[in-house]
Amino acid sequence: MDSQIRVFWRYFKRNRLAVAGMVMILVIFFVAGFASFLAPVDPGKTDVSLKLKPPSTLHFLGTDQLGRDVFSRMLYGSRISLNVGFVAVAISIFIGVLVGGVAGYYGRWVDSLLMRFVDIMLCFPSFFLILTVVALLGPSLLNVMVVIGITSWPGTSRFVRAEFLSLRERDFVQAAKSLGVKDLRIIFRHILPNALAPVFVTATLDVASAILVEAGLSFLGFGVQPPAPSWGNILTEGRTYIFDAWWLTVFPGLAILVTVLSFNLLGEGLRDAIDPRLRGRR
């Protein structure tokens, strides 16, 4: 195991963009974790006399139309973005691994039935499906996380199924079957650990997608509701003043861009380092 980790790290660190993405994600985690200490003022504190003030030494990223400090709101908004990303992906990965693992291991009619259901799910444009469900259930942080999770698993299930189809024919699985080991033990003890590497890669990429979807929903008014700060609703509030207060759209937009790009770079780096077929390209 130690040698595998060393091999992985040797290839991973060669990808400077992936390392930069990892460092930036660690910075974002630090900012989100210590937002209450880093924020100079309460993000919900209003002062109309300070409305739409440009960036300065007192307000690093300026103020919004209610005089609230944008820097403080951005810091607290990072917590919401990361929470949505990781909770939604955890739900998605759980469902995807469960469906893909069962389909790939048992095959035959079970595989056909589950994969046809996956095909039906993939026929719907994911963002519009999420938008419809959230509109029906009502906009809230919990609804956004759950809906993104339960609509994002089909892609994961397909490649997990492919891994299970390959691994179930290996000698160690056939030996376990011949010894009378139960199916659940074979799945969770022998096959699943060998199929988790690509799951980690897709999870990293899916976090970026979930953050982007949450920002889009909040921008449209179906995500996190004010006064709770999120990067998406800060953008929404700032579009009215886009020509008078550029900082209300530029800074949250840059935060979303940097965060999503960092997760994508990390995911690509993980994929290249884990897959032996891609290591020779670096």
Average pLDDT rounded to a whole number, residues 276-280: 54
Residue among 67, 79, 68 at smallest CA distance from 35? 79
Query: What is each CA distance from 95 to 99, 258, 276, in whole angstroms?
Result: 6, 28, 27
- CATH number of the domain at 50, please: 1.10.3720.10
Residue 111 structural domain: 2-279
Q: How far apart (Å, rounded) are the C-alpha atoms in residues 111 and 117?
A: 10
pLDDT reading at 26 higher than 90: yes
Average pLDDT rounded to a whole number, residues 39-48: 86
Higher pLDDT, 195 or 249: 249
How many Cα atoms within 13 Å fall on the side-chain side of residue 161?
A: 24
**pLDDT per position as a tens digit, 155-177:** 888 888 888 888 887 888 888 88
Q: How far apart are the first and last CA of the chain?
A: 23
pLDDT reading at 282 higher than 70: no
* The model's pTM: 0.84
Q: Give the number of domains in the chain.
A: 1
Identify whether the C-beta of residue 71 lies closer than 8 Å to the C-beta of residue 131.
Answer: no
